[in-house]
């Protein structure tokens, strides 16, 4: 059957179910376009193939390899859609029986291009008189030779190659030979000869791309393609494209494309597990579902997949079939010894049977003596074909064998207990396994086991508590919320105050992770209300420590100290070391936010981190180390900080705190890279973390990662990226409102939208007042953008005045940040001497706080240099420029642009910048200078002070490398800027 070249209308999944059952050939569906309107996970491979078309005149060979159903046909179809208009496409597909039918694959490929059926010879459209039927020199005569089974094989092959050259004269050609592992030897020979250039002097194609697809496991040693492909590789440059299975993230993208809605993590995880990421199996399962994305992840297999897999067993010996059936019940992975115990086979006999199953591609040996099915769906198909009593007997045998061997694989034990109908044993194994998995940091496995037990005993308090905690640690906050809510409701109904308090503590933490601070406050009050009813000091102390954590996370200092001290008193009186440690961490973390007590706090937390690591309190250790990282004594001591980050990563992984180990560690590494001045490395850390998060469809998005990434994009001057990541951080929560509004404000300023900027500035001040904190680094960035855009210093001063914890902890006037911000305002107001003093003081002292990046220090030196130039102190300015260049060597964006402008003023920079480097306000000033306006007139026209106008003029001169206003005016007229 010829490859379908035309795009089909997008079908509904239920309408495709029957259509997808046609034309199977051991797992490949002929001509299918797929359910998804876009091809998922193959963009790079497609780009490689498209890049070959028209790349050169000589034939180009591409070999596309992959297992059955991996998407080779879909990739080729997408290639055909992307080729330029006028390209001749010859595409054929072999079938399992083709190997015994000479030239069949070639004829399948050539048929659409040559209209010459055996019973009614005709001409191809556009054929010349020399191409008449029966003329062996023309295409019609050549096709007759190819079809003539009485001709020698070599003669038919030569005719086929010549036919292609005739059809291809002066044209770009894409020739596709699909499924070479089933191809007849003559068609393989044509494929191999087409890889050679046309005969000398022949007017061949303007370009030929020869594409062959095949299954590596389908090439036997005696198959003609098994010998031809290596020869082609030896003689020609071959582009190899190997298609792998889809990742979980790509399965998620596939489902989103089909159903136009984001699938849940559970659906993605289950479908990826069942299909192994094989696109064909995935489409079969989806096609058998309804209009909506599948939610029953254990739905029966569609008959097409089942029959396809079972057909592979038909010609196996009964003893091998028996082995495969037993293997299907044992699960995804099983050992040789377990299989031997269940089947009762002798070792030599079992090895012989396994060899057959492995050679047939049914089973694979992943590790020595450990086997599994090539696809999970294959295992399911085999198991579903067993009688109920067969399955129960095999599960029973597997359970007994595992227990006799002392196995601690509780997942397998619970599964076999369920399959054997021994549900009490299933719950027991699930409970024990969930406890152990949680203790070992295997959060997702703990969740799976807990939910396995809950399927039988849905009101079990312990299993609900494990499920809630495990889901939270694994980053599945929706699941954590659902389990915690049920746990809380059942505890209250049973008047079980111990479990009620524990459930409230979990609900409080989940609310924090979701950014729901109102819910967090409500659950905290509810927890406080039950403390006096708790039966033991230990339970009361734990609840008090949880209350202290809630207040600490919301930065309410007095309440944190109060509840931490209460927990400490009980813990020390009763010798509750772990509770004491938790209370110390909450208190110490709050103390870190008090500038007057940071040394005390750091000493306390360093001791707590050491103790938590020593006693195996991994989660507490990770949190403590994280707080120490963000309040490190000197971020310039990068080795010390990097050591803390590595310790934090190890402890988070040991605790099974998956999102923390990915997002928080990446954020810390990104911040460290930014402190060191490596902007691209910082971006890379965050992008890698996002890639990992994208592979976990159930993870709640990381607002802070998006905020941080948007900020780095602004640093680099990538405004589109900055906007994209800002949108990812929305809708803003109570935790992120200030940051998100600040990003929007920065973008508005960078784009010159002053009306929107002023509105957002008012919103930002209100949000800062509500939060009780204004970030110095964010204010510095906003001040830079706003002043460059044309906002007046007085408009920004209210924000600057709020910097710090302004409810009791505003920054001291001599603080480096205050010096830097004050210098920025002074510069904008034209107070050059004040600006120089502020910038120089900031440059000397910046670096003592964790928010200080190399870029900040570089900007302080640039600001000092720029104002020293204005004061005529050029030698001093050069010293600051040298320091700024050192800090900004691995940076880019607006800070570097400012440095280059000052360098040009000093005669040490590159050539002057063009109009694109100017801010919107600077372009306005340049246009007005072209009108001959003085600084006073500029100030009047732009509603700014004369000193601010002078600063804008000075900035223009620096950026453009010019020495006078007249030069700027002439330049503005010459470049057309004055006309705008």
Q: Determine the Cα–Cα distance for residues 835 and 822; give it in Å rounded to an integer.
A: 8
Position 694 scores a pLDDT of 65
Q: Determine the Cα–Cα distance for residues 346 and 162; give it in Å rounded to an integer.
A: 59
Position 701 scores a pLDDT of 53
| pLDDT bracket for residue 413 (50, 70, 90) | very high
What 8-state DSSP symbol labels residue 421?
T
Q: 522 to each of 49, 356, 407, 508, 527, how far by Cα in Å?
A: 58, 63, 45, 8, 9
Three-state DSSP state, 270:
helix
Give, for 122, the enclosing helix (H) or strand (E): none
pLDDT above 70: residue 38: no
The encoded tokens of residue 320 equal 């091998």
Residue with structure tokens 């492909």?
229
Position 373 scores a pLDDT of 83
Burial class (CB in 10 A: 0-12, 13-18, 19+), 666: buried
The encoded tokens of residue 753 equal 């939208």
CA atoms within 13 A of residue 762's CA, in its CB half-sphere: 5
- Counting residues of the chain whose pLDDT is more than 70, the rounded percentage is 84
The encoded tokens of residue 334 equal 């099983």
Q: Give residue-wise pLDDT tens across range 171-188.
A: 888 999 998 888 888 888
What 8-state DSSP symbol labels residue 803?
-
Position 36 scores a pLDDT of 61
Q: Determine the Cα–Cα distance for residues 774 and 800; give it in Å rounded to an integer.
A: 9
Q: Determine the Cα–Cα distance for residues 377 and 959; give it in Å rounded to an integer.
A: 64
- Sequence-separated (6 or more) residues with CB below 8 Å from residue 16: 35, 287
Position 696 scores a pLDDT of 58
Q: Determine the Cα–Cα distance for residues 454 and 452; give it in Å rounded to an integer.
A: 6
Q: Give residue-wise pLDDT tens across range 796-813.
A: 999 999 998 654 566 777
Higher pLDDT, 169 or 617: 617
Position 931 scores a pLDDT of 85
Position 303 scores a pLDDT of 60
Neighbours of 529 (CB within 10 A): 11
Q: Determine the Cα–Cα distance for residues 509 and 465; give it in Å rounded to an integer.
A: 13
| pLDDT bracket for residue 604 (50, 70, 90) | very high
Q: Give residue-wise pLDDT tens across range 67-118.
A: 877 888 889 988 988 888 888 999 988 876 565 578 888 988 887 777 533 3
Q: What is the mean pLDDT of residues 707-723?
A: 92
Q: Determine the Cα–Cα distance for residues 345 and 921; give it in Å rounded to an integer.
A: 85
Q: 300 to each of 306, 383, 815, how far by Cα in Å?
A: 9, 11, 67
Position 971 scores a pLDDT of 81
Q: What is the mean pLDDT of residues 705-713?
A: 92
Do the beta carbons of residue 752 and residue 788 sit within 8 Å?
A: no
Q: Give residue-wise pLDDT tens across range 641-667.
A: 889 999 999 999 899 887 888 888 988
pLDDT above 70: residue 911: no
Residue with structure tokens 């008189």?
129
Position 767 scores a pLDDT of 92
Neighbours of 475 (CB within 10 A): 25
Lowest mean pLDDT among 128-137, 386-395, 501-510, 971-980: 128-137
Residue with structure tokens 């997008």?
10
Backbone angles phi, psi at 707, to 5 degrees: -60, -50
Q: Give residue-wise pLDDT tens across range 328-375.
A: 999 878 899 999 999 999 999 999 999 988 887 788 887 788 898 876
pLDDT above 50: residue 122: no
pLDDT above 50: residue 17: no
Q: Determine the Cα–Cα distance for residues 55 and 47; give it in Å rounded to an integer.
A: 13
Position 18 scores a pLDDT of 31
Q: Give residue-wise pLDDT tens across range 914-923.
A: 666 777 888 8
Whether the upstream peptide bond of residue 279 has omega within 30° of 0, thus cis, is no
DSSP character string of 632-676 = -S-TT-HHHHHHHHHHHHHHHHHHT-HHIIIIIHHHHHHHHHHHH
- Counting residues of the chain whose pLDDT is more than 90, the rounded percentage is 39
What 8-state DSSP symbol labels residue 660?
I
pLDDT above 50: residue 31: no
| pLDDT bracket for residue 129 (50, 70, 90) | very low
pLDDT above 70: residue 307: no
Lowest mean pLDDT among 121-130, 409-418, 605-614, 625-634: 121-130
Average pLDDT, the chain: 83
Higher pLDDT, 281 or 564: 564
Lowest mean pLDDT among 116-130, 475-489, 683-697: 116-130
| Highest mean pLDDT, choosing among 55-59, 702-706, 750-754, 955-959 | 750-754
Q: Determine the Cα–Cα distance for residues 852 and 838; give it in Å rounded to an integer.
A: 16
CA-based max dimension of the chain: 108
Do the beta carbons of residue 675 and residue 638 sit within 8 Å?
A: yes
The encoded tokens of residue 861 equal 């030196």
Position 441 scores a pLDDT of 87
| Highest mean pLDDT, choosing among 125-139, 258-272, 291-305, 612-626 | 612-626
């Amino acid at each position: 059957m010829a490859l379908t070249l035309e795009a089909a209308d997008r079908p509904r999944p239920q309408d495709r179910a029957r259509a997808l059952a046609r034309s199977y050939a051991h797992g490949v569906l002929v001509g299918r376009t797929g359910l998804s309107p876009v091809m998922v996970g193959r963009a790079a491979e497609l780009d490689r193939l498209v890049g070959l078309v028209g790349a050169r005149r000589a034939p180009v060979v591409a070999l596309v390899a992959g297992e059955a159903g991996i998407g080779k046909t879909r990739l080729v179809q997408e290639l055909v859609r992307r080729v330029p208009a006028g390209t001749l496409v010859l595409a054929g597909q072999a079938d399992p029986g083709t190997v015994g039918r000479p030239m069949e694959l070639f004829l399948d490929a050539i048929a659409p291009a040559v209209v010459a059926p055996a019973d009614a010879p005709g001409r191809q459209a556009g054929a010349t008189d020399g191409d008449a039927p029966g003329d062996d020199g023309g295409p019609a005569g050549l096709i007759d030779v190819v079809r003539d089974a009485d001709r020698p094989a070599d003669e038919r092959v030569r005719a086929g190659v010549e036919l292609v050259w005739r059809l291809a004269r002066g044209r770009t050609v894409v020739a596709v030979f699909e499924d070479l592992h089933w191809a007849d030897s003559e068609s393989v020979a044509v494929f191999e000869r087409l890889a050679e250039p046309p005969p000398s002097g022949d007017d061949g194609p303007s370009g030929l791309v020869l594409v062959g697809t095949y299954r590596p496991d389908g090439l036997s040693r005696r198959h003609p393609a098994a010998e031809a492909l290596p020869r082609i590789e030896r003689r020609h440059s071959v582009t190899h494209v190997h298609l792998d299975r889809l990742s979980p993230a790509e399965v998620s993208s596939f489902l989103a494309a089909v159903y136009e809605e984001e699938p849940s993590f559970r659906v993605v995880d289950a479908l990826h597990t069942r299909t192994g990421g094989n696109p064909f199996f995935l489409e079969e399962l989806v096609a058998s579902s309804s209009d909506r994305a599948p939610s029953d992840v254990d739905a029966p297999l569609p008959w097409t997949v089942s029959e396809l897999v079972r057909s592979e067993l038909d010609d196996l010996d009964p003893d091998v079939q028996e082995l495969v059936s037993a293997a299907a019940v044992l699960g995804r992975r099983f050992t040789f010894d377990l299989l031997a115990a269940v089947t009762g086979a002798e070792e030599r006999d079992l090895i012989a049977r396994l060899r057959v199953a492995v050679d047939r591609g049914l089973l694979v040996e992943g590790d020595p003596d450990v086997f599994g099915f090539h696809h999970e769906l294959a295992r399911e198909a085999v198991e579903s074909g067993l009688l109920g009593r067969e399955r129960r007997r095999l599960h029973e045998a597997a359970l007994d064998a595992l227990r006799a061997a002392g196995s601690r694989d509780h997942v397998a034990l619970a599964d076999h207990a369920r399959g054997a109908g021994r549900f009490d044993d299933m719950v027991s194994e699930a409970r024990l396994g969930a406890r152990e998995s949680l203790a070992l940091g295997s959060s997702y496995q703990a969740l799976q086991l807990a939910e396995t037990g809950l399927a039988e005993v849905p009101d079990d308090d312990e299993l609900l508590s494990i499920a809630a905690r495990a889901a939270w640690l694994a980053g599945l906050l929706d699941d954590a919320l659902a389990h915690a809510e049920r746990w809380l409701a059942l505890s209250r109904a049973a008047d079980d105050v111990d479990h009620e308090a524990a459930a409230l503590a979990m609900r409080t933490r989940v609310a924090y992770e979701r950014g729901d601070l109102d819910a967090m406050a409500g659950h905290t009050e509810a927890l406080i209300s039950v403390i006096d009813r708790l039966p033991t000091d230990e339970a009361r102390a734990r609840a008090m420590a949880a209350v202290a954590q809630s207040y600490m996370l919301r930065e309410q200092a007095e309440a944190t100290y109060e509840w931490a001290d209460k927990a400490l008193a009980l813990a020390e009186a009763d010798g509750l070391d772990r509770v004491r440690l938790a209370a110390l961490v909450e208190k110490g973390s709050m103390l870190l936010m008090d500038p007057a007590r940071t040394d005390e706090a750091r000493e306390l937390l360093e001791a707590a981190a050491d103790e938590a690591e020593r006693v195996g309190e991994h989660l507490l250790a990770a949190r403590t180390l994280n707080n120490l990282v963000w309040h490190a004594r000197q971020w310039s001591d990068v080795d010390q900080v990097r050591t803390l980050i590595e310790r934090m990563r190890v402890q988070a992984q040991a605790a099974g705190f998956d999102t923390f180990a990915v997002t928080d560690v990446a954020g810390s590494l990104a911040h460290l890279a930014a402190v060191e001045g490596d902007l691209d490395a910082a971006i890379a850390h965050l992008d890698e973390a996002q890639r990992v998060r994208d592979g976990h469809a159930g993870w709640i998005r990381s607002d802070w990662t998006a905020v941080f990434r948007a900020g780095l994009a602004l640093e680099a001057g990538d405004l589109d990226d900055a906007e994209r990541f800002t949108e990812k951080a929305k809708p803003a929560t109570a935790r992120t409102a200030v940051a998100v509004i600040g990003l929007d404000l920065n973008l508005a300023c960078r784009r010159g939208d002053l009306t929107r900027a002023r509105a957002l500035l008012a919103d930002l001040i209100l949000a800062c007042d509500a939060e009780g904190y204004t970030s110095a680094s964010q204010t510095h960035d906003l001040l830079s953008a706003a002043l460059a855009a044309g906002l007046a210093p007085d408009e920004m001063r209210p924000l600057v005045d709020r910097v710090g914890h302004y409810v009791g902890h505003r920054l001291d006037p001599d603080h480096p940040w205050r010096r830097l911000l004050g210098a920025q305002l002074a510069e904008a107001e034209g107070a050059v001497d004040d600006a120089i003093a502020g910038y120089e003081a900031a440059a000397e002292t910046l670096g003592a706080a964790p928010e200080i990046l190399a870029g900040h220090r570089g900007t302080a030196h640039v600001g000092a240099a720029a104002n020293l130039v204005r004061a005529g102190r050029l030698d001093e300015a050069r010293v600051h420029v040298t320091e700024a260049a050192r800090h900004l060597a691995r940076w880019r964006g607006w800070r570097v642009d400012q440095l280059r402008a000052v360098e040009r003023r000093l005669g040490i920079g590159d050539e002057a910048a063009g109009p694109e480097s100017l801010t919107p306000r600077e372009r306005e000033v340049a246009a007005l200078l072209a009108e001959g306006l003085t600084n006073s007139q500029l100030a009047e026209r732009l509603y700014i002070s004369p000193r601010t106008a002078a600063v804008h003029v000075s900035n223009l001169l620096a950026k453009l490398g010019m020495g006078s206003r007249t030069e700027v005016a002439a330049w503005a007229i010459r470049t057309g800027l004055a006309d705008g």
